[in-house]
Structure 1
Amino acid sequence: MNKLDVTEAIFAIKKEKDLTWEAIAEAVGMTDVWVTSACLGMNSCTEEVADKLVSFLGLPDAAKAALMEYPTKTWDQAIPQDPLIYRLYEVVGVYGPTLKEVIQEKFGDGIMSAIDFSMSVEKEENPKGDRVVLTLNGKFLPYKSW
């Protein structure tokens, strides 16, 4: 099995068993965001996490190797068509330069790591309409001069 085969199998099992990402994450001892990313093929699992996913979901044994395989993190560079993904793309397009300015003013010349990184998605109930709370937490990596 390759990563795409495993992702398709996971989605089928998730639907069949009426599972949530949160339930899957709890079963393997990881966060819902990270587990979802790994199940979509964008992160590699440790052997322990892969074993737990295979066992909990009832995946074929061949899925373990694909879950542990290092991913090639590529995505379509075209403007996304899915409305939710497009809005995130829009946030970066509109606020990216602002975030860069503010981060560099507070930290110096550098970047936020997407490797030493965590992310969470929370729901905040609000009488005017529920709010999506995204938290991106990445280590600051200063540029070096040599």
Structure 2
Amino acid sequence: MSRSEAADLVVAARTRLGLSWSEIADEIGAPVVWTTAALLGQHPMTAEQAGQVCRLLTLDETVAESLQLQPARGIDPALMSDPTIYRFTEALSVYGPALKALIHEEFGDGIMSAINFRVDVSRRPDPEGDRVVVTFDGKFLDYKW
């Protein structure tokens, strides 16, 4: 079974059972954003994690096997036009050069790792409408020659 087919089954089972991504993450003891990305096909899970998820979602062993496969990371180009995903692209298009300049000013010549990386999403109440807070937390990797 392909990772995308497994992801579709996970999404359908989660919806059918009325479970949140957070509840699934709690079940396997992993961060919610990582868990969601893994179940959508972007990270391999351990056999134990995949088994726990499949038992929780009443999915069979073929799904668990697929969740353990090494993924081809990235996004379907068709999804880039999704409004939520596009806004991240737009924000990085506008603020990316400034973030790069500020990282270089603060840390020197290097990059933020997306491998040694954490990401979190939270809600912050605001009188003008709740705010979405996305935190990228990546290890600084300096360029060494």
TM-score scaled by length of structure 2: 0.94
Q: Decide which moves more: 77-86 or 59-68.
A: 77-86
Partner of 2:33: 33
Q: CA deviation at 1:75?
A: 2.4
- How many angstroms apart in 2 are the aligned matches of 1:112 and 1:102? 12
Q: Decide which moves more: 78-87 or 18-27.
A: 78-87
What residue ranges of structure 1 are gaps of 5+ in the alignment?
none
Q: Quick check: 2:124–2:130 contact (8 Å CA) kept in 1?
A: yes
Q: CA deviation at 1:60?
A: 0.8
- The DSSP-based 3-state class of the residue aligned with 2:118 is strand
RMSD of aligned alpha carbons: 1.4
- The CA deviation string for residues 89-126 of structure 1, in whole angstroms up to 9 with x for no partner, is 00110000100000011111111001100000000111
TM-score scaled by length of structure 1: 0.94
- The CA deviation string for residues 20-65 of structure 1, in whole angstroms up to 9 with x for no partner, is 1111111111111111100110011112211111111111111122
Q: Which amino acid aligns with 1:10?
A: V
What residue ranges of structure 2 are gaps of 5+ in the alignment?
none
- The DSSP-based 3-state class of the residue aligned with 1:129 is coil
Higher helix content, 1 or 2: 2
Q: How do residues 1-146 of structure 1 correspond to structure 2 at under 5 angstroms?
A: 1-76=1-76, 80-145=80-145
Q: Which amino acid aligns with 1:60?
A: D
- The 3 A distance-change label for structure 1 pair 11 and 47 is same
Number of equivalences: 145
Q: CA deviation at 1:144?
A: 1.3
- The 3 A distance-change label for structure 1 pair 140 and 40 is same
Q: CA deviation at 1:79?
A: 8.5
Once superposed, which parts of structure 1, at least 4 consecutive aligned residues long, lie more than 3 Å away?
76-79
